[in-house]
Amino acid sequence: MRYSTQFLLSAMAPEQFPAPSVPEIAFLGRSNVGKSSLLNTLAGEKAAKVSSTPGRTRAINFFALLDESQRRRLVFADLPGYGYAKISKSISAEWPKFIEPYLAERDALGLCVCLVDSNVPPQQRDAQLLDWLRSVDRHFVVVATKIDRLSGNERTRNLTALRKGLEIDDVLPVSAKTGAGLKELWARIEAVRIGS
Ligand code: GDP
C-alpha cells in the first residue's frame, strides 16, 4: 500500500505524546546507524528532515501514515539516536526522561524497529536496549543497516555475529541505498496493523 506521511508533533514529555489512535512503530538506534536514511525511504524525505531539525533530534518525532483516502493507518515514532561512547547501567541514563515511559507504557506501541549497523560488531549498548525491551515485553525486530557495503561472505559472517552477540533468532538486513530488505521490513510493519 502507498502511504503519505504527515508530521504530527515533536514530544519532549509524556504529556505531549499524541492521543493514541492507530498502532505505532518506534524506530530506535545509535546515532549514525542510518535511521534518517531508512526513514527517508520508508516515510519520505519530510520525515527524515523533520527528525534532523535542530531541537528535534532529542525529541520523539511522531508521523502519521495516511492511506489513499487520507485515513490514518499507522504512526511512526522516531526516537532520538543514542550515543555509542558511554555504557551505562540504566538504559535511559543518557536518554531524556520521557523515552523510557514511552517504550514501557505506551499502549499503542505495536513494534520497535531496532537498528544496528551491519558493518559494526555487536554493541553492548544495543544488547542492553534489547534486554530492556524484553523486560518490558515489547515486540521488536532487529534490522541490520547498510548491508550494501558488505560482500556476500562478510554479510553472512556479520549477521551471524549480530545474532549471537545480541541473542536474537532473527536479524533483517536492509539497505536504504539499494532498497534491499525494505519489502520484508514493510511486511513486518504492516503485520502489526493487521494483527491489532
Ligand atoms: P542516523 O544518524 O542514524 O540518522 O544516520 P544517517 O541516516 O544520517 O546515516 C549515517 C551515515 O550512514 C550517512 O553517511 C549515510 O549516508 C550512511 N548510510 C545510511 N544508510 C546507508 C545505507 O543503506 N547504505 C550505505 N552505504 N550508507 C548508508
Q: Encode pLDDT of 37-76 as tens digits.
A: 999 999 988 887 887 888 788 899 999 999 999 999 999 9
Domain for residue 196, yes or no? no
Query: Does residue 195 fall inside a structural domain?
Result: no
State mean pLDDT over 172-195: 92
Atom 25 of ligand 1 has which residue's CA nearest to it?
146
> pLDDT tens across 163-182, in order?
999 999 999 999 999 999 99
In which domain, by residue range, is 137 found? 4-190
- Quote the number of domains for the chain: 1
Say how many Å lie between the CA of residue 33 and the centre of ligand 1.
6
Cα of 2 vs centre of ligand 1, distance in Å, is 24
Distance of CA 69 from the midpoint of ligand 1 (Å):
32
Domain CATH code at residue 19? 3.40.50.300
Does residue 130 lie in a domain region?
Answer: yes
Instruction: Name the residue at shortest CA distance from atom 28 of ligand 1.
Output: 146
Task: Quick: pLDDT tens for 97-150.
Answer: 788 889 999 999 999 999 999 999 999 889 999 999 999 999 999 999 999 999
Structural domain includes residue 33: yes
- Residue 29 inside a domain? The answer is yes
The residue assigned the cell 551491519 is 118
Residue 173 belongs to a domain: yes
In the sheet that 72-78 helps form, which strands lie side by side, from edge to edge? 4-11, 60-66, 72-78, 24-29, 109-117, 140-145, 172-173
Q: Is 175's C-beta closer than 6 angstroms to any atom of ligand 1?
A: yes
- Report the predicted TM-score, pTM, of the whole model to 2 decimal places: 0.94
Identity of the amino acid at 7 = F
The predicted pLDDT at position 56 comes to 82
In 72-168, which ranges are continuous DSSP H helix?
Answer: 99-105, 124-135, 152-166
CB-count exposure of residue 117 (10 Å: 0-12, 13-18, 19+): buried
The single-letter code of the amino acid at 132 is W
Residue 32 located in a structural domain: yes
Distance 84 CA to ligand 1 centre (A): 15
Task: Determine whether the shortest distance from the Cβ of 81 to ligand 1 is under 6 A.
Answer: yes
Residue 155 lies inside a defined structural domain of this protein? yes
